[in-house]
Amino acid sequence: QTDGSEVIINTDAGINIVEFGFLPFATLKECEENMKIIMAEFLEVAATQNATLIAYGIQPKTPYFYPDLKSEKIWYRGFTRFPALASGHSMFHNIAANQPCIDVTYEELLPAVNTLNAIAGVTIGLFANSGWGEWKSQDHHEMREYRWSKWMESPAEHQKLSGLPTRPFTSLRDYVAYNWDIRLPASHRGKTMHVIDPAPLINDYMHAKEWQAFDVGSSEPSVIQPSIEDANLSNMYIWIQARAKYYFRDDAPFEDFLLAYDSGDVEFDEFAREHLKTLYVEVRNVACQPWAHIMTAPAFFLGLIENLEAAEKVVKGKPWKYWVDLRQQAITNSLGVADIPIIAQELVEISEQGLKQRGLGEEKYIQVLFDRIDKRESPALAARRLADEFGPDALIKDTRIKL
């Protein structure tokens, strides 16, 4: 941008998918304005190639199972040593998402992560948007989450990488321990990454002095030493419904970090409070949204975090397994699940109160959610109704982004 800030645009693992990593701002209005400037510039360039963008969760034409339809991205080379991950990765080639990220305080982190994970079923109910695609009505309203579940169901050690944890987290250290109980796909260094074979658990990797590895960028053997950079980047390797993104300062002593981690919750909390530079929550279960309501999901989550105690009370009113089961039902039936409209109404009202407390009029962004609840119609069902009645071309025309 003209101010020197960078906005990352890539294809991730998709075909005909464009991923924008927009910059953070203090208000939803600023986020929206900046986003539209960048996308308008992108669409101007895309038009020279006779291309455009549609705001929809699943691309209508491209079946996910075509093995040749894959875009290269260097960090996915880390998956090649995990056959189940590598073979299933093509399931996401035509799936687009809307993944809001919201800064939180240290005190807000655990309640926010646990709450936004628990309400995953309600979130999917409100925002599911892949009910029609690949030239047919889909079997599930939220195909992205369905494919995540299928991708991670085998082997068993992969199941904790996505979906919902089996219990709420008790501390940041507890979250990190959960994160570190998976195998390390790669260690990032600059623009390249180093893989270790066989892949160690992240916890084991962090506690060793050095590792023999392989630089997948230069295609040469390498030696790497664990560092605070690994502590920061290892959190990208779990994809649960709402994940903590934590970044310690580059000068944070790695030995002290490990000592604090090994000592327990109190010591790790003290280290984190002193050395964290960035802390936010990323919500990962929202499909790419209708363009007219592109800011609705981030507004909904922002409002809940602004009114976190009330949202947390809703979650604690039911056992954790209830929320796990509700997510599974929502993937297939979104707002058609009997309990979801009732809970959604309560949570949207809580979010509305939180946004009103900010005094910026941001509650306007979530008014459409009341309409969805009243009609029992998620974006997935609206898209299915349009495509079934008027055909896929009408759906493409309706979802095209115009700026």
In terms of domains, do 187 and 219 share one? Answer: yes
pLDDT tens, residue by residue, 352-388 = 999 999 999 999 999 999 999 999 999 999 999 999 9
Average pLDDT on 342-346 reads 99
**Same domain for 282 and 161:** yes
Q: Is residue 2 part of a domain?
A: no
What's residue 239's pLDDT? 94
Whether 167 and 194 share a structural domain: no
| 17 and 163 part of one domain | yes
Looking at the structure, tell me whether residues 32 and 131 fall in a common domain. Answer: yes
Q: What is the CATH number of the domain that holds 282?
A: 3.30.590.20
Q: Is residue 216 part of a domain?
A: yes
Residue 75 predicted with pLDDT over 80: no
Q: Is residue 272 part of a domain?
A: yes
Cβ–Cβ < 8 Å for 330, 128: yes
Tally of domains within the chain = 2
| Domain shared by 168 and 203, yes or no | no
Does the pLDDT value for residue 70 go beyond 70?
no
The secondary structure of 105-168 as a DSSP string is -HHHHHHHHHHHHHTHHHHHHHH---SEETTEE-SSS-HHHHHHHHHTSSSGGGGGGEE--SS-
- Say if 256 falls within a structural domain: no
Q: Are residues 89 and 193 in the same domain?
A: no
- The pLDDT of 179-186, averaged and rounded, is 94
The answer to whether residue 385 sits within a structural domain is yes
Cα distance between the two ends of the chain: 19
Instruction: Provide the pLDDT for residue 295.
Output: 98
Kindly tell me if the per-residue pLDDT of 217 is higher than 60: yes
Q: Which amino acid is at 361?
A: G
Domain range for 165 is 8-172+239-251+264-399
Give the separation between CA 291 and CA 1, rounded to whole angstroms. Answer: 23
Cα–Cα distance, 149 to 254 (Å, whole number): 35
Domain assignment of residue 144, yes or no? yes
SS (H, E, C) 296-344: HHHHHHHHHHHCHHHHHHHHHCCCHHHHHHHHHHHHHHHHHCCHHHHHH
Check pLDDT > 60 for residue 195.
yes
Residue 213 sits in the same domain as residue 69: no
Within this chain, do residues 233 and 156 fall inside the same structural domain, yes or no? Answer: no
Interatomic CA distance for residues 232 and 245, integer angstroms = 8
Cα gap 304→302, rounded to integer Å: 5
* Same-domain pairing of 123 and 212: no
Quick: pLDDT tens for 122-175.
999 999 999 888 888 999 999 999 999 988 887 888 888 999 999 999 999 999
pLDDT at residue number 82 = 79
C-alpha 186, offset from chain centre: 20
Sequence-distant (≥ 6) Cβ neighbours of residue 247 within 8 angstroms: 232, 276, 277, 278, 279
Is the domain of 243 the same as that of 229? no
In a domain, 258, yes or no: no
- Return phi, psi of residue 227, to 5°: -150, 175
Say which residue, 259 or 237, is predicted with more confidence. Answer: 259
| Whether residues 232 and 247 fall in one domain | no
Within a domain: 257: no
